[in-house]
Amino acid sequence: MSSVSLSPGERAVSRCDRLGEVPFSDEVDLLFRPWLGPGFHATIEAVSGWMRAAGMSVRRDSAANLIGRYEGLAPGAPALLFGSHLDSVRDGGRYDGMLGVIAAIEVVSGFHERGERFPFALEVIGFGDEEGSRFPVTMLTTRAVAGVLEEDDPEAAFAKLRDADGVTVAQALSTAGLTPLGMAAARRDVSELVGYVEAHIEQGPVLEAEGRAVGVVSGIAAQRRFEVKLHGTAGHAGTMAMGLRRDALAAASEMVLAVETIAESFDGRDGLVATVGSLRVWPGVVNVVPGDVVFTLDARAGSAVTRDQAVDEILERIAAVAARRGIGFEVIPRENLAGVPCDPELRGLLEAAVADVTGVPARVLVSGAGHDAMVMGRLVPMAMLFIRCEQGISHNPAEAVLPADVDVAIEAMTDFVRRLAVAGH
């Protein structure tokens, strides 16, 4: 089948599939595309080419985000920004983040082919670091664009923040000719933008269960993340008596189970969930009692009050376990993201577009997962469109979408742009 005969949705899915392999991944047998890695740079080049073919000028900002611009009726007009992220988690799926970028390019491509322009420009942004899969922070480059970098002194902070190989943020930026202080220059002024719209796979089972191709997001759940460091005493596994041990891993095991138990006790209130997603053991050898452990804590809920109540209970339990076992501990806050509602006007226009394309009222749902949109919503009005994914699977090689669903999403976003222009933006 030639590329000419592909529908926009088929072409978008095909491109995402292509980007799931070497050289667009840092691993041969799985997809892993961390910010500023070899796969990331190769992806930037490929996506840049597709942006240019869709009629856009292309640039990279000082945070290594990729931006394509399709001018409006008047050069230099404020832009409606479509976007999502280019990076992936280790052993991730091919559509999380990437599909939102590629589908947006298809929207612009359609306007370019028809010669349509609007009172506002259209821009597509591929954010470099949403997942935090390389450094222990998330949405770093998105926060740079929104002007909400939380590091008081980026130069000092990014000289200390390291990936698993010991490379600092500052060193990684340097390889791309960038600097920590320069990241602040990626900030966009609110006067430059009309709003932000993100299409993303649902990462949940609701749309599939209801037989819907797409849904409209009402808002994004509140999140908090921590890194917990435990300090016990390493010793020979054969000579250290059980009663004298200060086993950091045994303490961590009890804490991890406590996270699960406390989260379950909320019985789904406000969609509360809590997760320990990473655990590192030192020295990590078979005949040594573990002396140090580092694990992560991720808690999120539709209500910040519920989320914070659960976090308080979990941290109290961690402190109690550490005290009883004689384990030193540190709790390091890494993220504190408030819940973010979608803009009522943009959401209403998107709902109308979805209803027009599908013939039925749009399904509206909350996002339990965090997205670039939750950060961009602190800068400009934002809206989100969810695309059905098979069994709600995400962050997994089994991620799957239907090209026909992506066609619906592209049609809905196209309709949305026209409605926004009619509304006087």
Q: Are residues 171 and 188 in the same domain?
A: yes
Distances (CA, A) of 311 to 58, 90, 259, 278, 302: 43, 26, 9, 17, 14
> In this structure, what token pair is assigned to residue 65?
């985000």
Q: Taking 60 as the threshold, does the pLDDT of residue 3 lie above it?
A: no
Which of 310, 337, 364 is the C-terminal boundary of a domain?
337
Mean per-residue pLDDT, 167-173: 93
Q: What is the dihedral of CA 121, 124, 130, 134, to 10 degrees?
A: -130
Structure tokens at 277: 């997603």
Does 218 score more than 80 pLDDT? yes
Tally of domains in the chain:
2
Residue 110 sits in the same domain as residue 202:
yes
Place of tokens 């509304």: 423
Other CB atoms within 10 Å distance of the CB of residue 343? 18
- Calculate what percentage of the chain has a pLDDT beyond 70: 98
> What residues make up the domain containing 329?
222-337
What's the CATH number where 68 sits?
A: 3.40.630.10
Q: How far apart are CA 374 and CA 347, in angstroms?
A: 14
pLDDT at 136: 86
At 202, is the secondary structure helix, strand, or coil? coil
Query: b or e along 21-47 (b: 16 or more beta carbons within 10 Å of the residue's beta carbon)?
Result: eeebbbeeeebbbbbbbebbebbbeeb
Q: Are residues 7 and 151 in the same domain?
A: yes
State whether 267 and 209 are in the same domain: no
For residues 147 and 185, state if they share a domain: yes
Give yes or no for a contact between 195 and 344, defined as CB atoms under 8 angstroms apart. Answer: no
**Following DSSP, what letter does each residue of 51-114 receive, concatenated?**
HHHTT-EEEE-TT--EEEEE--SSTT--EEEEEEE----TT--SSTTHHHHHHHHHHHHHHHHH
**CATH number for the domain that contains residue 261:** 3.30.70.360
CB 65 within 8 A of CB 23: no
Q: What is the structure's pLDDT at 150?
A: 67
Q: Which of 337, 356, 376 is the last residue of a domain?
A: 337
Residues 332 and 360 in one domain: no
Same domain, 26 and 129: yes
Residue predicted with more confidence, 32 or 161: 32
Residues 6+ apart with CB under 8 A from 345: 381, 423
Same domain? For 129 and 259 the reply is no
**pLDDT of amino acid 237:** 96
Residue 303 and residue 306: Cα distance in Å, rounded? Answer: 5
* Shared-domain flag, residues 255 and 345: no
pLDDT digits (tens, 9 = 90+) for 279-335: 999 999 999 999 999 999 999 987 889 999 999 999 999 999 999 999 999 999 998
CA-nearest of 206, 173, 185, 213 to 359 is: 213
Burial classification of residue 67, based on how many CB atoms lie within 10 Å of its CB (0-12 exposed, 13-18 middle, 19 or more buried): buried
Give mean pLDDT, residues 36-47: 97
For the segment 386-402, the average pLDDT, to the nearest whole number, is 96
Q: Rounded distance, CA 201 to CA 392, Å?
A: 9
Q: What is the residue-averaged pLDDT of the chain?
A: 94
What is the predicted pLDDT for the residue at 360? 97
Please determine, for residue 341, whether its predicted confidence score (pLDDT) is greater than 60. Answer: yes
- Considering only residues 226 and 219, tell me which one the structure prediction assigns the higher pLDDT: 226
State how far the Cα of 391 lies from the Cα of 205, in Å rounded to an integer.
6
List b or e across 276-314, with b for residues whose CB sees 16 or more CB atoms inside 10 angstroms.
Answer: beeeebbeeeeebbbbbbbbbbbbbbbebebbebbbebb
For position 288, what pLDDT does the model report?
A: 97
**403-415 per-position pLDDT tens digit:** 999 999 999 999 9
Domain match, 47 and 176 both: yes
Q: Are residues 44 and 150 in the same domain?
A: yes
151 pLDDT band, cuts 50/70/90, is: low
The band of 1, judged by pLDDT with boundaries at 50, 70 and 90, is very low
Helix (H, G, I), strand (E, B) or coil at 124: strand
Statement: residue 2 has pLDDT above 50: no
Of 337, 368, 401, which marks where a domain is finished?
337
Do 73 and 108 sit in the same domain of this protein?
Answer: yes
Q: Is the pLDDT of residue 351 over 50?
A: yes
Confidence of residue 4 (pLDDT cuts 50, 70, 90): low
Tell me the per-residue pLDDT of 97-146, one tens digit each, with 9 for 90 and over.
Answer: 999 999 999 999 999 999 999 999 999 999 999 999 999 888 999 999 99
Would the pTM of this model clear 0.85, i.e. be above it?
no
